[in-house]
Amino acid sequence: MLQLRGQTLLFIIGQEFHIRLELDEFLSSLPQSIVTGEAVSLPDNVVRRIFKFAKLKKSDVFYHLGCGEGNAVEIAAKEFGVKKSVGIELNKATAAKARKQIAGIKTAEIVNIDITKANISDATVLLFWFNDPEMVDAMKDRFKILGLHLA
């Protein structure tokens, strides 16, 4: 896990925590509003760059925890062709917008549930972008489901 000025950025790929090599370079290429957490949703071009950085592939099962209106879920399914793309969103109205966004995409779904209660056991790639320390701590325990132990 990486702490950035109050913003936690975490990619999980397979059974490895994968963000060591080019992280500083990648982060320096993002708009400051994203890095500081001022932007509520990640712009599509940033999502694509994250997926390329994470080497998202067709055999992956992608989860976006706190998916907002579902852009990353749609991009993972349509553009990267993942086996399954799931968005987890607590806000019912936002989840409804996300469902409209992915309508007709057979490999994508939106689940309206608290991310701390969501079944993420089949995930091979997770996108988790939160700046709430309590949420980060709560999710450390949830990630143990995948056999991950984060510092």
CATH fold for the domain made of 2-145? Rossmann fold (3.40.50)
Write down the pLDDT at residue 82: 97
Strand partners, 114: none
Write down the pLDDT at residue 12: 47
Task: Indicate the pLDDT class of residue 46, thresholds 50, 70 and 90.
Answer: confident
Q: Does the pLDDT value for residue 107 go beyond 90?
A: yes
**Per-domain boundaries in the chain:** 2-145
Considering Cα of 87, then 28, then 44, then 17, what sign does the dihedral take?
Answer: negative
Mean pLDDT of the chain: 78
Per-range mean pLDDT, top range of 42-56, 78-92, 124-138: 78-92
Task: Indicate the pLDDT class of residue 132, thresholds 50, 70 and 90.
Answer: low
**How many CB atoms are located within 10 Å of the residue 36 CB?**
14
Q: Does the pLDDT value for residue 8 go beyond 50?
A: no
Spell out the long-range contacts of 33-42 with Cβ–Cβ below 8 A and sequence spacing 24 or more: 35/4, 35/5, 35/7, 36/4, 36/5, 36/6, 36/7, 37/5, 37/6, 37/7, 37/131, 40/68, 41/68, 41/69, 41/71, 42/71, 42/72, 42/129
Write down the pLDDT at residue 142: 73
pLDDT by residue (tens digit) across 53-80? 888 999 999 999 999 999 999 999 999 9
First to last CA, the chain: 7
On whether the CB atoms of residues 33 and 6 are closer than 8 A, the answer is no
